[in-house]
């Protein structure tokens, strides 16, 4: 590295970026950025491998490439004859294409049934492959998740997947930096998911465009690794391609002993390098926003983008109170799609389906949180619990969480993206309302005509019991609100 660079106070992002510049950018040309870890899945890779074949190119660094399958894969159990029942023939062909590509190009693949299989953003960290200071990319916008470890991690398109396969590099312009400082402490019953939904509600779905976010402040430091992953995961929902959190003792404790993590003497060396990564005290950011964690309540979205979120105790906003015509029309079209009337308490919304899973909230701590709410109770809505990985599933079963879910009347599934993206057959029917722990409430995201209300795992589980959007801090008795709605609701209107 250039010594003139190292004297200037730098942010975490700048340190990682500088250390990976094969060639710095100029006014006329972007920089060449070296990639340490390339995660691959079945949906965004087939056309990239085709380009390699057309050009007669090998994969440049197969050892830095790690593949799994998650989007198109079934979450129903394997058949006694060892086969899987796919949503359709196209999904099965896509999975087989990945298997063939990994075999042909010498890439480590965690296929269906493999103990290392699962959602790519869950299994990468689990395997210890994601490490502080790395550059991590994947043909998937939720690659931002890996920034929780102090890595620079971002989603890329399929053309770029091809670039990384062929050269281990990307052409990149250096993004701007945005510090999100979260002061105070989250209150009891408020989680990392609520924090990130509150942030996006504040800065908007385009608020981070062109920037890499660094999450700083005491409320961030107090988060577990899993909570940090939930926060970084949804950076893209604010428009930021990447979100990062400086590594600390929480990070190191989580990584230590994982198969992909350095061992022995190499671990000690890695630790000393990682301890130098946090932003220098005098480093500056292009922008900074501040949130007070102690004011955040459990959040839920009411609209069709992740910025349209309110506290679970709140009312559906009124388009009449919007300042601009474009805001008004955005809100009006969202409420029309969601079948909601302005001023309705969000807690009146009747729930048809609850989805607990995804790269945002499909980890062990999320399942424990849901199970603690569901234990000894019965669900009133169809409830799918989909672990983020096979390892999460196995550990949940060791802890008996699967029994809690099944006894509550929920479905306990095989790992995958499932109803977050509805590519594998797990989907909503038109008009159904779903409280979902996933990351996107876009129109049709969980199935054409489906209505998604994003929330944390505790809120989702409480809503499953209540049959309406619920406050996870309340205890709901069986039978409460079982009768017809008191006021206008989504179902009457829909």
Partner 1 sequence: MEPLRIVESPVVVMPRDNMDTDQVIPARFLKVTDKVGLGAALFADWRYHSDGTPLPDFVLNRPEASKAQILVAGDNFGCGSSREHAAWAIRDFGFRVVISTSVADIFRNNALRNGILPVVVDPDVHAKLVASPGATVRVDLEQMTLTLPDGTQRTFAVDAFARHCLLNGVDEMGYLLAHKDAIAAFEEKR
Query: Could you say whether residue 6 binds partner 1 (CB under 8 A)?
Result: no
Contacts of 443 (CB under 8 A, 6+ apart): 304, 337
Q: Pick the binder of partner 1 from 9, 77, 106, 430 (CB under 8 A).
A: 430
Q: Pick the binder of partner 1 from 378, 448, 482, 493 (CB under 8 A).
A: 448
Residue placing its CB nearer to partner 1 in the complex, 236 or 299: 236
Residue placing its CB nearer to partner 1 in the complex, 143 or 463: 143
Query: Could you say whether residue 171 binds partner 1 (CB under 8 A)?
Result: yes
Q: How far is CA 338 from the centre of its chain?
A: 23
- Cβ burial of 53 (10 Å; 0-12, 13-18, 19+) is exposed
Q: Which DSSP letter does residue 345 get?
A: B
Binding range to partner 1, per CB under 8 A, among 43-51, 76-84, 265-273, 375-383: 43-51
Query: Could you say whether residue 256 binds partner 1 (CB under 8 A)?
Result: no
Query: Could you say whether residue 429 binds partner 1 (CB under 8 A)?
Result: no
Query: Could you say whether residue 156 binds partner 1 (CB under 8 A)?
Result: yes
Give the whole-angstrom CA distance, residue 152 versus residue 143: 9
Q: Pick the binder of partner 1 from 148, 353, 423, 433 (CB under 8 A).
A: 423
Binding range to partner 1, per CB under 8 A, among 177-185, 231-239, 403-411, 469-477: 231-239
Give the whole-angstrom CA distance, residue 353 versus residue 82: 30
Residue placing its CB nearer to partner 1 in the complex, 22 or 85: 22
Mask of contacts with partner 1, 64-103, x by CB under 8 A?
-------xx---------------x-xx-xx--x------
- Structure-token pair, residue 225: 């690794």
Contacts of 300 (CB under 8 A, 6+ apart): 197, 309, 310, 311, 312, 346, 435, 453, 454, 455, 459, 469
- CB of 168 within 8 A of CB of 60? yes
Q: Which of residues 318-337 bind partner 1 (CB under 8 A)?
A: 326, 329-330, 333
Q: In what order do the strands lie in the sheet with 242-244?
A: 242-244, 211-216, 176-183, 287-292
- State the nearest-atom distance from the C-beta of 55 to partner 1, in Å: 7
Mask of contacts with partner 1, 347-386, x by CB under 8 A?
----------------------------------------
- CB of 121 within 8 A of CB of 139? no
Q: Pick the binder of partner 1 from 59, 178, 236, 404 (CB under 8 A).
A: 236
Residue placing its CB nearer to partner 1 in the complex, 28 or 268: 28
Residue placing its CB nearer to partner 1 in the complex, 173 or 295: 173
Q: Pick the binder of partner 1 from 9, 58, 157, 487 (CB under 8 A).
A: 157
Q: How far is CA 296 from the centre of its chain?
A: 20
Q: Pick the binder of partner 1 from 239, 243, 311, 456 (CB under 8 A).
A: 239
Q: Which of residues 291-310 bind partner 1 (CB under 8 A)?
A: 305
Binding range to partner 1, per CB under 8 A, among 115-123, 224-232, 338-346, 420-428: 420-428
- State the nearest-atom distance from the C-beta of 97 to partner 1, in Å: 5
Q: Pick the binder of partner 1 from 13, 39, 41, 44 (CB under 8 A).
A: 44
Contacts of 107 (CB under 8 A, 6+ apart): 40, 59, 62, 65, 66, 67, 101
Residue placing its CB nearer to partner 1 in the complex, 20 or 363: 20
Q: Which residue has the tokens 């690794």?
A: 225
Query: Could you say whether residue 3 binds partner 1 (CB under 8 A)?
Result: no
- Cα–Cα distances (Å) from 119 to 68, 107, 398, 415, in that order, read 8, 17, 20, 7
Closest to 392 measured CA to CA, from 42, 184, 31, 126: 126
Q: How far is CA 240 from the centre of its chain?
A: 13
Give the whole-angstrom CA distance, residue 208 versus residue 360: 18
What is the dihedral angle through the alpha carbons of 342, 344, 348, 352, rounded to the nearest 10 degrees? -10
- State the nearest-atom distance from the C-beta of 158 to partner 1, in Å: 4
Q: How far is CA 127 from the centre of its chain?
A: 17
User: Which residues on neighbouring strands pair with residue 65, listed in sequence order?
Assistant: 38
Q: Pick the binder of partner 1 from 121, 241, 363, 413 (CB under 8 A).
A: 241
- CB of 367 within 8 A of CB of 387? yes
Contacts of 277 (CB under 8 A, 6+ apart): 12, 15, 16, 132, 133, 150, 246, 247
Query: Could you say whether residue 163 binds partner 1 (CB under 8 A)?
Result: yes
How wide is the angle at C-alpha 414 spanned by C-alphas 412 and 420, nearest 5°? 90
Residue placing its CB nearer to partner 1 in the complex, 19 or 222: 19
- Structure-token pair, residue 121: 């953003």
- State the nearest-atom distance from the C-beta of 302 to partner 1, in Å: 15
Binding site for partner 1 (CB under 8 A): 22-23, 27-30, 32, 34, 43-44, 46-47, 50-51, 55, 57, 71-72, 88, 90-91, 93-94, 97, 139-141, 155-160, 162-163, 166-171, 173, 175, 205-206, 209-210, 236-237, 239, 241, 305, 326, 329-330, 333, 421-423, 430, 440, 442-445, 448-449
């Amino acid at each position: 590295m250039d010594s003139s660079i190292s004297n200037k106070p730098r942010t975490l992002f700048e340190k990682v970026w500088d250390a990976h510049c094969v060639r710095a950018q100029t006014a006329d040309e972007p920089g060449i950025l070296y990639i340490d870890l390339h995660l691959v899945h079945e949906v965004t890779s087939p056309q990239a491998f085709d380009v390699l074949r057309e050009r007669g190119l090998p994969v440049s660094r197969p050892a830095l490439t790690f593949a799994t399958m998650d989007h198109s894969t079934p979450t129903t159990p394997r058949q006694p004859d060892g086969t899987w029942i796919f949503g359709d023939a196209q999904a099965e062909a896509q999975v087989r294409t990945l298997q063939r590509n990994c075999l042909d190009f010498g890439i480590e693949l965690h296929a269906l049934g493999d103990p290392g299989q699962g959602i790519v953003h869950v299994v990468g960290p689990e395997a210890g492959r994601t490490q502080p200071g790395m550059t991590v990319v994947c043909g998937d916008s939720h690659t931002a998740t890996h920034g929780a470890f102090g890595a620079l991690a971002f989603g890329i398109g399929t053309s770029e997947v091809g670039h990384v396969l062929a050269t281990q590099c990307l052409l990149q312009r250096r993004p701007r930096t945005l510090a999100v400082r979260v002061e105070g402490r989250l209150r009891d019953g408020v989680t990392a998911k609520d924090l990130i939904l509150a942030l996006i509600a504040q800065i908007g779905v385009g608020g981070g465009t062109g920037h890499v976010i660094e999450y700083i402040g005491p409320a961030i430091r107090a988060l577990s690794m899993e909570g940090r992953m939930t926060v970084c995961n949804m950076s893209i929902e604010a428009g930021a391609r990447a979100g990062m959190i400086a590594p600390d003792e929480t990070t190191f404790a989580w990584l230590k002993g994982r198969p992909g993590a350095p061992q022995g003497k190499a671990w000690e060396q890695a630790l000393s390098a990682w301890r130098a990564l946090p932003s220098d005290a005098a480093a500056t950011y292009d922008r900074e926003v501040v949130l007070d964690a102690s004011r955040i309540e459990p959040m839920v979205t009411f609209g069709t983008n992740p910025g349209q979120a309110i506290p679970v105790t709140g009312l559906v906003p009124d388009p009449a109170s919007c300042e601009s015509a474009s805001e008004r029309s955005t809100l009006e079209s969202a409420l029309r799609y969601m079948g909601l009337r302005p001023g309705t308490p969000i807690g009146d919304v009747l729930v048809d389906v609850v989805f607990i899973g995804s790269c945002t909230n499909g980890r062990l701590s999320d399942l424990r949180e849901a199970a603690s709410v569901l234990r000894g109770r019965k669900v009133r809505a169809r409830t799918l619990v989909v672990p983020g990985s096979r390892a999460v599933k196995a550990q949940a079963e060791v802890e008996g969480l699967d029994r809690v879910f099944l006894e509550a009347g929920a479905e306990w599934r095989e790992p995958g993206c499932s109803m977050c993206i509805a590519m594998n057959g797990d989907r909503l029917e038109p008009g159904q309302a779903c409280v979902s722990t996933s990351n996107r409430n876009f129109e049709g995201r969980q199935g054409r005509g489906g209505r998604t209300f994003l929330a944390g795992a505790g809120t989702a589980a409480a809503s499953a019991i209540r049959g309406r959007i619920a406050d996870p801090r309340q205890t709901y008795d069986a039978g409460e609100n079982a009768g017809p709605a008191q006021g206008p609701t989504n179902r009457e209107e829909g």
